[in-house]
């Protein structure tokens, strides 16, 4: 299992290399195939015939699509040859080491230190109430 600090370094490498935190742009730059369609789940990463592929549900909101994409990109980078499905409400799947790593990757990609630092002086109640 990768340590959180190692995942953070890995994410930082890709952000610097491609000058973006956009998971779609990073996937495109890495040659990862991304398809959207009717799925029975939110998304999945598959390694098919030597190609990295991410499939996203067309029913996701833009926000959720970005979140699931970042999660699946984590699988594509860290678990290259392992097929992984993202089903948010299945606790057994989310507790696996790979799922935790993919979630950590997504969090570090979508919530950079600069973003978090911007809110360092706010209380938890202000953040929860969106009183910014």
- Give Cα separations from 21 to 29, 57, 85, 101 (angstroms): 12, 21, 22, 17
E strand map for 21-122:
33-37, 43-48, 51-57, 84-86
pLDDT tens for each residue of 47-85: 888 899 999 999 999 999 999 999 999 999 998 877 665
pLDDT tens for each residue of 1-34: 678 789 999 999 999 999 999 999 999 999 999 9
DSSP three-state, residue 56:
strand
Catalytic residue among 25, 42, 58, 72: 72
Is 101 marked active-site?
A: no
Could you tell me the two tokens for 50?
């030597």
Higher pLDDT, 94 or 83: 83
Q: Where are the domains of the chain?
A: 4-128
Residue 94 has pLDDT above 60, yes or no: no
Distance CA 38, CA 16 (A): 34
- Structure confidence at residue 85 (pLDDT): 58
Distance CA 42, CA 68 (A): 7
Topology, domain 4-128: Arc Repressor Mutant, subunit A (1.10.10)
Distance CA 40, CA 12 (A): 32
- What is the pTM assigned to this prediction? 0.82
Between helix 4-18 and helix 97-110 the angle, nearest 10°, is 40
């Amino acid at each position: 299992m990768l340590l959180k600090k190692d995942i953070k370094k890995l994410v930082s490498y890709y952000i610097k290399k491609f000058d973006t935190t956009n998971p779609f742009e990073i996937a495109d730059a890495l040659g990862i195939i991304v398809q959207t369609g009717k799925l029975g789940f939110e998304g999945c990463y598959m390694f098919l015939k030597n190609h990295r592929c991410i499939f996203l549900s067309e029913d996701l909101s833009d926000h959720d699509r970005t979140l699931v994409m970042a999660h699946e990109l984590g699988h594509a980078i860290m678990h290259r040859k392992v097929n992984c499905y993202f089903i948010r409400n299945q606790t057994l799947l989310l507790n696996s080491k790979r799922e935790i790593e993919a979630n950590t990757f997504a969090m570090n990609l979508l919530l950079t230190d600069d973003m978090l630092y911007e809110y360092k002086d706010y209380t938890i109640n202000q953040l929860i109430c969106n009183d910014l």
